[in-house]
Structure 1
């Protein structure tokens, strides 16, 4: 498949055992398997993986119409077929594995790229792409994961927990079914699970927030409710839940869980509330459409909302504090706005043929520290955007499928 312009191929170099093991001591440093040598094993190593000196970004792409999937390696520019799933209608990732809910269940794809972050240093890994298997619970399922577990919450509110060690070994294993029914997605956080549970009395307008252990047993109740829960995100400050009056921030500090409300500060009609958050992993600035012609930004650190008027919104994202707000609008062009004062900074030519996403999901904007990625399903391509250089189109990847679904992995 052609890639414009020519992409320089980078070959990852295996670091020495001394460098790999620097600063990686701890009780959870036992790998699933050791590399073929007597050298110390780097933390986070998985059998068959190779450590790299930089992030190994990849895009998992799905065609909602045909069910075909591909993995695009953003380092080499190569595209690898990753199987076909039945009637896929969504996509999610935990940083390495991709999850594609559909009419026959949820397909799990190992994209073969991930990051292990220890705070003071980071490990980057790459390995081959492969299909892991299928899970029960398809259409409408929401997926969230961390280094230990992945939770698939079905449209019926039932949730199943998968062990990351099983996925690393190339199998789905036997998921643990949680006994409760939840009003929103169950989110792994701080070695626990954060969930919004409907009131046992049947008052579904006032679902309570509960903290579970990894087996699904309730261990804490922050004493908060989240009316009309829609949307959730994990940040360095905690788990953010979208509620009728704004957001709820659930945090853990020395084993104690608390919930802090971040209100809109005014009455916001349901159609204009944040219903699905987008952000760069690791960032504490969240974005969401605010109705048809505006976007919300939520500064989790400052606990403040800001509503920025734009053109008709199709997709939105930002790299974080101080970075431009990126908005795909109904004209098919990508626009950038100053996140502080709302000024429009730049706009591209039309990049997406049918931004409404007929026959599949609407386009999305994936973003990292230097580039953004925009999928054009009808054009059968993905654009790489340098958002710090007036939205310059750095590369365009032509594909043999309609990439109506997209997530970035390797981070």
Structure 2
């Protein structure tokens, strides 16, 4: 793999990046070669056996070519690529910030991406460790996986939810699950030491981590589709808008965020994307617009964009980033809907329009950069979204990265 950089307005940032790379970051397998020590009473706060704690976020991209099964992990700190075990026939690739889940017809292959963060509210710990296979979870295409620091909830297409202990996955073992009663219309979401689910009839339920029913907000979410965990609470996509479920002093409350007008079914927000930690969500609004939900302000904005392939935003004053069917990235001011910037066409071939049956490219966003996969071009672009969508780096690959997720966040 080679890395190509766009050096325009890059030099000051490059000096900082080089300093970080040479002083605080090691290679891909640094954690594997590090001595394994035994925890003791003198172990520092945040100590994790077998992992290295770092001062900066340790982002990595997990990349998969469903046709060949070739899989790579791209370390965005070092720029190095590691080849990992093949997973062919992947219909969907998802992540919970650390693990990559390869959804296939024969179950879900779980890969520990070896990079993650632990958010303690007033401070954050960043870790890197060896990449390794964990095993397989039951389920496949259509299975939804949601996690927090303690548990991983796996909701099958049949609506049954199985809860796995996170500690087992972190040790490289799947373990035995606990099954929640009943069936659920959407994903079961771990939140504030509880599990949030919605029945087929639209009733919102809360469970404790043992699977017992707990007191919940008296709320409904009809035709639930899509969910996101934010610092303000859990957002659920409903037929009439969104439902925000929050925990305040041990009590769960629910608040509707309506669209404000009648929205055709084909234009509802049903799948949210956002920067982890942000309270600004994006979702397609039909084929030629994007919904932006400001959870803090409890407000929807519909941005007219033209043909949409993928969209995302970092929130907090950052532009809405949209990959359109011309293969270019377009940046929009969320409040006015005005287009602010546009790149040259970056995504090659029919995949930009999603017309060849392959997975659409995606836009992953973190605190400083966005990442766009170009399957036909066998590359990934790093985008500086605060500098008119400037292409900061281009990573050339030896596979077609049709599926991509970012870990370490």
Structure 2 length-normalised TM:
0.90
Deviation (angstroms), 1:46: 3.0
In the alignment, does 2:318 pair up with 1:307?
Answer: no
Report the counterpart of residue 233 of structure 1 in structure 2: 228
In the TM superposition, what are the counterparts of 1:144-159 in structure 2 within 5 Å?
A: 144-159=146-161
> In structure 1, the residue corresponding to 2:167 is in which secondary structure?
helix
CA distance in 1, matches of 2:210, 2:71: 32
Asked if structure 2 preserves the Cα contact closer than 8 Å seen for 1:35 and 1:41, the reply is no
Shift of 1:67: 2.6
Q: Per the alignment, in what secondary structure is the counterpart of residue 223 of structure 2?
A: coil
Supply the distance in 1 between the matched residues of 2:198 and 2:258 (Cα, whole angstroms).
18
Counterpart position of 1:172: 174
CA contact (8 A) 1:86 1:104 kept: no
How far has the Cα of 1:325 moved from its partner? 0.5
Whether the aligned pair in 1 keeps the contact of 2:372 and 2:380 (CA below 8 Å) is: yes
Aligned to 1:25: none
Q: 3-state DSSP class of the match of 1:396? A: strand
Q: How many residues align?
A: 386
- 1:339-384 CA-partner distances (Å, limit 9, x unpaired): 1111101100111112134343211110011100001111111100
Q: What is the aligned partner in structure 1 of residue 187 from structure 2?
A: 185
Q: Tell me, which stretches of 5 or more residues in structure 2 are unaligned?
A: 7-16, 26-35
Cα distance change of structure 1 residues 85 and 121 upon mapping to structure 2, 3 Å threshold: same
Q: Which residue of 2 aligns with 1:88?
A: 90
Shift of 1:44: 4.4
**For the residues of structure 1 that align with 2:87 and 2:150, how far apart are their CA atoms?**
25
State the match for 1:3 in structure 2. Answer: 3
Q: 1:388 to 1:373 in 2, by over 3 A?
A: same
Distance of 2:400 and 2:237 partners within structure 1: 31
- What is the aligned partner in structure 1 of residue 14 from structure 2? none
What residue in structure 1 maps to residue 361 of structure 2? 363
Residue 12 of structure 1 and its aligned partner are, at CA, apart by 6.4
Give the counterpart of 1:271 among 232, 256, 266: 266
Instruction: Check whether the contact 1:86–1:103 (CA below 8 A) recurs between aligned residues.
Output: no
1:29 match? none
- Secondary structure of 2:169 counterpart: helix
Give the Å deviation of 1:83: 1.3
Deviation at residue 117 of structure 1 after TM alignment: 1.4
C-alpha deviation, 1:256, in angstroms = 0.9
Equivalent residue, structure 1, for 2:389: 391
Cα 1:180–1:146 shift into 2, 3 Å: same
Secondary structure of 1:340 counterpart: coil
Task: Tell me the residue number matched to 1:316.
Answer: 311
CA contact (8 A) 1:12 1:53 kept: no
Residues of 2 paired with 1:64 and 1:376: CA distance? 14
Show the counterpart of 1:346: 341
Helix, strand or coil at the partner of 2:297 = coil
CA RMSD of aligned residues (A): 1.9
Partner of 2:400: 402
For the 8 Å contact 1:46–1:168, the answer to whether it is kept is: no
Whole-angstrom CA distance in 2 between matches of 1:355 and 1:40: 54
Shift in Å at residue 180 of structure 1? 1.7
Using the size of structure 1 for normalisation, the TM-score is 0.90
Output aligned runs, 1:3-22, within 5 Å.
3-5=3-5, 10=21, 13=24
Question: Match for residue 216 of structure 1?
Answer: 211
Q: CA deviation at 1:168?
A: 1.2
Contact 2:152 2:163 in 1 (8 A): yes
Measure the CA separation in 2 of the matches of 1:356 and 1:403. Answer: 16
